[in-house]
Amino acid sequence: MRAIVVRRFGGVDVLRLEDQADLVPGRGEVLVDVAFSDVGTLDRLIRAGQFREFFDIDVPYIPGGGVGGTVRAVGAGVDERWIGRSVVGGTGTGKGPTGGYAGQAVLAANVLTEVPPGIGVDVATSLLNDGPTSQQLLDVASPAADDRALVLAAAGAAGMLLVQLLQNRGVPVVAAARSAEKTAALRELGINHVVDYGTAEWTAQVETVFPDGPTMVFDGAGAALGRQGFALLADRGRIISYGTSAGTFAEFDADDAQRRGIGITNLLELPAVTAPDRSRLLQRALDACVSHAAIPLLTHVPLADAAKAHTALEQRTAIGKTVLATRSQAGGQRGGAPRAETPVVVRPR
């Protein structure tokens, strides 16, 4: 099989396509012919040598924590009826996201989710991590009828799903992103209120939509943008800080938060997600996609061009979700060869 292998931590140039031995499933495992591989921010951070205190990953390794494809073979103890089914699932041994950027993957049978009718394997793969994240954020926030939401980094993979879920629930939401391309993509998805925080007047635009301030802020950006979102909050509001697209997590004034009655939930304070929890949240994300309540915007990048996908994440030019296409014929639901240049809104059939 062909796979992206990292033999030293460093820049995007360490992502090299190599020939690797074909895989064999063990007891309780299945072998998947991979069509699409999930690409996430954590992949690029680990590749750069960060978070080694949290993940026991050493070189050489194959990056990536999730795949979608077709079950080719099953190991001992696994129902043979899985063979030939389109599935998605997480890879790795529990040490961290590894094994995904490859033409084959071995998955534990108990983490498999069958791709539902109505969406493609690429869409289902894109929801493996960001789908559960967006669903968990919605659960933690538990928006009421009178809530008003501001979502920062709304053109990211999780943010793009979250703004749709909120709006679908009838929650007024302002989606904030940087650049005309990203804000245009959000408008294409039918988001009513979109602002560009690359402009100096973006906070004033939020105040125009919400004169009394948002009652909840979902901070997927961090740093100064997260602090600006915090300042916009109405008294007795709440902020959930879960992302660092701007470079670092935001730091908030605890005294000001106490004075204003603002609740703060940081990433590490989110409820722990067990394997059954993740399966349940993923199924909800898939169901939301099938019903058009929250659909991803996808960019397909050929496996050999994994470095381009990581570069787009680092330069913050990626819009929505990127998946690696491991086969030349895997061009998504619109057909044709995979394209790295132009994001394509992939809508369920």
pLDDT digits (tens, 9 = 90+) for 255-313: 999 999 999 999 889 999 988 999 999 999 999 999 999 999 999 999 999 999 999 99
pLDDT at 92: 82
Residue 299 parent element (H or E): strand 297-302
Q: Is the dihedral of CA 147, 148, 152, 155 positive or negative?
A: positive
Q: With cut-offs at 50, 70 and 90, classify the pLDDT of residue 341.
A: very low
Inform me whether the pLDDT recorded for 15 exceeds 70. Answer: yes
Burial of residue 277, with CB atoms counted within 10 A of its CB: 0-12 exposed, 13-18 middle, 19 or more buried: middle
How does the average pLDDT of the chain come out, rounded?
Answer: 91
User: Is residue 223 within 8 Å of 247, Cβ to Cβ?
Assistant: yes
> What's the CA gap between 210 and 207, in Å, rounded?
5
pLDDT at 244: 79
Inform me whether the pLDDT recorded for 34 exceeds 60. Answer: yes
CA distances from 68 to 112, 121, 312 (A): 10, 6, 22
pLDDT at 328: 54
> What's the CA gap between 204 and 223, in Å, rounded?
19
> What's the CA gap between 258 and 236, in Å, rounded?
9
pLDDT at 247: 73
- Domain 2-114+296-345: give its CATH code: 3.90.180.10
pLDDT above 70 covers what percent of the chain?
94
| 89-101: pLDDT as tens digits | 999 877 789 999 9
pLDDT at 54: 82
DSSP per-residue letters across 308-323: HHHHHHHTT---BEEE
pLDDT at 73: 98
CATH class of residue range 130-269: alpha beta
The secondary structure of residue 34, as a DSSP letter, is E
Domain regions of the chain by residue span: 2-114+296-345, 130-269
SS3 at position 76: coil
> What mean pLDDT comes out for the span 57-84?
97
Terminal-residue alpha carbon distance, the chain: 31
| 312-327: pLDDT as tens digits | 999 989 999 999 999 7
pLDDT above 90 covers what percent of the chain?
83
> What mean pLDDT comes out for the span 145-163?
96
pLDDT at 339: 38
Inform me whether the pLDDT recorded for 84 exceeds 90. Answer: yes
> What mean pLDDT comes out for the span 20-47?
96
Structure tokens at 187: 């408008």
Burial of residue 250, with CB atoms counted within 10 A of its CB: 0-12 exposed, 13-18 middle, 19 or more buried: buried
pLDDT at 346: 54
Structure tokens at 233: 């909050």
Q: What is the pTM of this model?
A: 0.91
Decide which of 48 and 346 is more confident: 48
Helix segments in the chain, DSSP class H: 41-47, 121-141, 157-168, 180-188, 202-209, 223-232, 254-260, 275-290, 306-314
The secondary structure of residue 102, as a DSSP letter, is B
